Structure 1
Amino acid sequence: MKLNKRKILFALSLICFFSVSSFAIGHPKREVRAVWLTTIGGLDWPHSYSQSQNSMARQQEELRKILDKLQRANINTVLIQTRIRATSIFQTTASSGNEPCDGCLSGFPGKSPGYDALSFAVEECHRRGMECHAWVVAIPVGKWNGVGCQHLRNSQPGIVYRIGQEGYMRPEDSRTAAYLARYCADIARRYDVDGISLDYIRYPEAQAKLPRADVGRANITRIVKAVHDSVRAVKPWVKLSCSPVGKHDDTNRFWSRGWNARSRVLQDAKEWMRLGYMDQEYPMMYFRGDNFYPFAVDWIEGCHGKAIVPGLGIYMLHPRESNWSLDDITRELYVLRHEGAGFCMFRSKFFTDNVKGIYDFVSQSFCRYPAIVPVMCGRESDAVPAPTDIKVFSSAGGANVSWSSNGKDLLYNVYVSDSYPVDVSKAENLLCVRRKGTSIAITKPMKMFFAVTAMDRYGNESKPCQQPCAKLPEEIKPGWYWVTHPLGR
């Protein structure tokens, strides 16, 4: 079989990347760098229950510390598990099915922790310049007699069916699409989330007999379309994504070994990108070697301009799991960057615990500089109004930098360099991203010249407003400064 140019480049890239230590690769300014933050059973968070004012504060501080560490590694997207098993981490309404609170927060299924955990997570992510996506587990609803499954069985008779001891929403029932669409629209309406990510949006692999393939795929696609349409109607900038099975289908490069999204669980994830129902996809690629690379490229080639963000099984690094070497993951990271894809770590705790040195590698080497997420496909625009009037004022122990806004609902990216004008195309000049305020405080040594761009909710960036070189205060000109709290904490 004659290989096309892309396949040749792919093969060559693998050869090069297997010698990671000798390979140098640039730092992109645009890249999705994500983690899944798992709340079921408190796997990633929370590690304590909120049952009083003191324990609530302790639980919230746990999340702040996790997000601080993710920020220091220049992670820019957090997918927080929001709907767990027909249970939620926020106070649902009639629109979102009045689903009970999950017990991970209070220790008691159905009991509120005394605060809105989703609202808190969104606010804390944004404070650190990170996107926050609501991770919604769609079809599984937990143990048949569990609080979530029982609530759904009582409120929507017949919508749930049983496999073993577990309950699942019926993909073929039109009420399932309507229910999940209302649930996701309620999140988009009430919370300032940047995305909604559907997990387990497929048929259960445990189901003994699946419907005819085209019928089953149409059932799942109907749910995806309903969610897409409902969210778009509320806030068109909220990204819709999903986490499909890691191998889309058999490819002409490699066989999927019988485990794939499209044929095995009737998940037509590439078609969803083609139809515009998905803005991003996070295939769960917890593999290595021939089970990873051919299928990663297959996703990228079939993305139709949407962001592909493969999920990496960093939990496999742990000795109690599969005891992978760090090189197994770093090679995958380099190949994904070479191919223009992002990455998502499964899961957060294995990353922040620095298993096999993965956190050190990402924070000190692979993601040394911040990155902005790619522009939402189909929403590209050059009409974002640039900020104006950058000012630098000396203050006790440092300086303050401020600018003026020329639009509503804009975020700001701040760049700094010892060269003038500041080159805003370089990731190494990014100081902070997605800032809501119009000033930053400087207290320690740092490069001199500043530039600021505005960014809309789709990720479009304005032209830079450069700091006027001639107008630098004389007492500041010789100095170098460092931003201690660039995100307004």
Structure 2
Amino acid sequence: MKYSFAKASAIVLIFLLFISSCSTKKPISKSTGNKPKVTQQIPKTEPQKPKADNQKPTEKLALPEVNREFRAAWIATVANINWPSKNNLTTQQQKDEAIKILDLLKDANFNAVIFQARPSGDALYKSDLEPWSYFLTGSIGKAPTPFYDPLEFWIAEAHKRGMELHVWLNPYRAHHTTGGPITSESLVKKMPDQIIKLKNGMYWMDPSDEKVQDHTSKVIKDLVKRYDIDAIHIDDYFYPYREYNGGKDFPDNRTWNIYQNSGGNLSRADWRRANVNKFIKRIHDEIKAEKSYVQFGISPFGIWKPGFPEGIKGSSQYDELYADAKLWLNQGWLDYFSPQLYWKNDGPQSFPALLKWWESENTQKRHLYPGLNTIGLNGVSDRPTEIVSQINTTRSLLKNGAGTIHYSVDGLSKSPAMYNAVKNAYQTQALIPTSPWIKSKALNKPNLFVDNNGNSINVKWNSTDDKNVFQWILYVKNGDTWETQILEKDTVSKNLPLTKNGKKLNTIAIKSVDRLGNESDYEAKKL
């Protein structure tokens, strides 16, 4: 019995092992040309590992929204109004003055400068198309010594401070009365058939001449292609103001006769406007074709026509400058629109009434940044208070897309009262408003590294698409209080205290920002 029972047990065990082996084999498919079916395997559940003491659960952070507002000042180079202060300064003196202006604006939380690089058919940069400016060196066509490129310098120094650099140019002025003697280097000599002398001594390119349009187009495309600029900016000088020609009509008989002889049937005024309209549309399209992210801004005279809106009196840009700025805004042939609203809040040219009217015409929802007369607002006893009131009116009407441009930087640098009032109005940092109509590639999430050395927290960050980063946003939470800082691109680390105002540091987050103000997703660390 003992031997038989053991033998029987062995047989049963062998049989059970055979059955178990068969049940774990995968089924063999039939030879039908189809792939064998794969049976779904249920994964085994692994026991969860205990979390480390310093590992916090992932959660979506409610980061505070960053303030957005465009804050800029015009830097006029014509007649040495703002920079350089004289046309005989050394290279180093010019650089020192530029840095002083940029530091002044940076300290007041400005985020852009509008730099006049082509005041009158000349260049404050190295150009093969137009001569060096008289306002830079005191002689048309003379380069600065020791040599440097002023525009390149302004761009680098502005970007170093997290500020945009917009190139401001006048499309048609060929020579200013303060621009020194006309030499063979001047466009007046190089384009004699296209340039007209006005009664006040200025020389003006004929806006209706195709050679003029082509030449200015080449200048703008050259600037966009060769320089790391953020925008092209055109001011209010299209056809000249009548007073420049002693009240007489602009003498464009040559091109007008050519137009009529070719069968043209527009009135002279409509023909002039059509030429300017064609040029504006062309420049917009050419800028976008070269670099889609470079913005196009226009700063026209603040009144389209008297009576628009009702009760407004003054000159008509439509009838005098032949600039149909309302059309450009309606069509969206620009990225930002800065009407020069150089008047007080009450009066025949009401600042708020004009701003509301222009906003009602902003059908394509482009940026509307009114120009403020910071340097010479007439009829006002307390100019700083008036300018701050206009900033607040703009904010109230335009909300988080608000912005203003100050004419000019001298109104800030030469008046401590004005500067302090504006600085107080801009007391918190601001990103520029985003431009959703300009397509751009989303930024990658930054990398964030945190090191607790026992006495403080050392924070470092970087991005895998560094070339597209213009700024950073650093978020720091102490207790329940968030603080944000907008940092320049070159700032990639911070040393933070463990406690602030008695509150313990517990969360750090970082975002990158591109040159159009678009934010990346955030990377965060909890302590």
TM range (shorter): 0.7 to 0.9
1:198 and 2:234 equivalent? Answer: yes
Structure-2 change in CA distance of 1:258 and 1:350 (3 Å): closer
> Secondary structure of the residue that 2:91 maps to in structure 1?
helix
Match among 230, 240, 249 for residue 209 of structure 1: 249
Q: Which moved more, 1:183-192 or 1:346-355?
A: 346-355
In structure 2, what is the Cα distance between the partners aligned to 1:142 and 1:322?
34
1:404 and 2:462 equivalent? Answer: yes
Deviation at 1:459, TM superposition (A): 2.5
**TM-score, structure 2 normalization:** 0.74
Contact 1:251-1:295 at 8 Å conserved across structures: no
Give CA deviations for 1:153-188 in whole Å, capped at 9, x if unaligned: 332341111211211111111122211111011111
Task: Look up the match of 1:477.
Answer: none
Give CA deviations for 1:375-429 in whole Å, capped at 9, x if unaligned: 124126683322123435659x976532131324222322333347986xxxxx4
Larger C-alpha radius of gyration, 1 or 2? 2
> Secondary structure of the residue that 2:511 maps to in structure 1?
strand
In structure 2, what is the Cα distance between the partners aligned to 1:458 and 1:342?
15
Task: Look up the match of 2:415.
Answer: 354
- RMSD over equivalenced CA pairs, Å: 2.9
In structure 1, what is the Cα distance between the partners aligned to 2:388 and 2:288?
36
Letter paired with 1:232? K
Match among 272, 278, 282 for residue 222 of structure 1: 278
Task: Look up the match of 1:456.
Answer: 514
Structure-2 change in CA distance of 1:418 and 1:239 (3 Å): same
Contact 1:251-1:298 at 8 Å conserved across structures: no
Give CA deviations for 1:416-467 in whole Å, capped at 9, x if unaligned: 33347986xxxxx44124x33361344889965542222233322112222x
1:57 and 2:92 equivalent? Answer: yes
Contact 1:370-1:430 at 8 Å conserved across structures: no
In structure 1, what is the Cα distance between the partners aligned to 2:526 and 2:233?
44
Task: Look up the match of 2:446.
Answer: 387
Structure 2: which 5+ residue stretches go unaligned? 1-64, 251-266
Structure-2 change in CA distance of 1:311 and 1:394 (3 Å): farther
Deviation at 1:44, TM superposition (A): 1.4
In structure 1, what is the Cα distance between the partners aligned to 2:183 and 2:481?
53
Task: Look up the match of 2:75.
Answer: 37
> Secondary structure of the residue that 1:214 maps to in structure 2?
helix
| Residues 236-315 of structure 1 mapped to structure 2, 5 A cutoff | 236-251=292-307, 253-288=309-344, 289-290=346-347, 291=349, 292-303=351-362, 304-315=364-375
1:169 and 2:205 equivalent? Answer: yes
Task: Look up the match of 2:393.
Answer: 335
Contact 1:46-1:62 at 8 Å conserved across structures: yes
1:106 and 2:137 equivalent? Answer: yes
| Residues 58-73 of structure 1 mapped to structure 2, 5 A cutoff | 58-73=93-108
Deviation at 1:226, TM superposition (A): 2.2
> Secondary structure of the residue that 1:223 maps to in structure 2?
helix
Task: Look up the match of 1:369.
Answer: 428
Structure-2 change in CA distance of 1:323 and 1:431 (3 Å): same
Letter paired with 1:101? W
Contact 1:405-1:438 at 8 Å conserved across structures: no
In structure 2, what is the Cα distance between the partners aligned to 1:46 and 1:443?
40
Structure-2 change in CA distance of 1:361 and 1:451 (3 Å): farther
Contact 2:159-2:165 at 8 Å conserved across structures: yes
Structure-2 change in CA distance of 1:150 and 1:106 (3 Å): closer
Match among 132, 138, 144 for residue 165 of structure 2: 132
Match among 485, 493, 496 for residue 431 of structure 1: 485
> Secondary structure of the residue that 1:230 maps to in structure 2?
helix
In structure 2, what is the Cα distance between the partners aligned to 1:43 and 1:446?
49
Contact 2:472-2:489 at 8 Å conserved across structures: no
In structure 2, what is the Cα distance between the partners aligned to 1:347 and 1:463?
37
Structure-2 change in CA distance of 1:28 and 1:452 (3 Å): closer
Deviation at 1:91, TM superposition (A): 1.1
Contact 2:383-2:418 at 8 Å conserved across structures: no
Match among 137, 148, 154 for residue 189 of structure 2: 154
In structure 1, what is the Cα distance between the partners aligned to 2:211 and 2:437?
30
> Secondary structure of the residue that 1:402 maps to in structure 2?
strand
Letter paired with 2:526? C
In structure 2, what is the Cα distance between the partners aligned to 1:109 and 1:354?
32
> Secondary structure of the residue that 1:373 maps to in structure 2?
coil
In structure 2, what is the Cα distance between the partners aligned to 1:72 and 1:274?
36
> Secondary structure of the residue that 1:417 maps to in structure 2?
strand
In structure 1, what is the Cα distance between the partners aligned to 2:479 and 2:229?
36
Q: Which moved more, 1:99-108 or 1:384-393?
A: 384-393
> Secondary structure of the residue that 2:375 maps to in structure 1?
helix
Contact 1:33-1:76 at 8 Å conserved across structures: yes
Contact 2:74-2:115 at 8 Å conserved across structures: yes
Structure-2 change in CA distance of 1:205 and 1:436 (3 Å): same
Contact 1:420-1:469 at 8 Å conserved across structures: no
1:415 and 2:474 equivalent? Answer: yes
Structure 1: which 5+ residue stretches go unaligned? 1-26, 424-428, 471-489
Deviation at 1:369, TM superposition (A): 1.0
| Residues 176-195 of structure 1 mapped to structure 2, 5 A cutoff | 176-195=212-231
Deviation at 1:251, TM superposition (A): 4.4
Structure-2 change in CA distance of 1:154 and 1:253 (3 Å): closer
Q: Which moved more, 1:156-165 or 1:74-83?
A: 156-165
Q: Which moved more, 1:126-135 or 1:138-147?
A: 138-147
In structure 2, what is the Cα distance between the partners aligned to 1:312 and 1:445?
44
> Secondary structure of the residue that 2:438 maps to in structure 1?
coil
In structure 1, what is the Cα distance between the partners aligned to 2:67 and 2:494?
23
In structure 2, what is the Cα distance between the partners aligned to 1:173 and 1:437?
46
Deviation at 1:306, TM superposition (A): 0.8
Letter paired with 1:386? K
> Secondary structure of the residue that 1:70 maps to in structure 2?
helix
**TM-score, structure 1 normalization:** 0.79
Match among 89, 92, 107 for residue 124 of structure 2: 89
In structure 1, what is the Cα distance between the partners aligned to 2:359 and 2:411?
26
Letter paired with 2:161? R
> Secondary structure of the residue that 1:418 maps to in structure 2?
strand
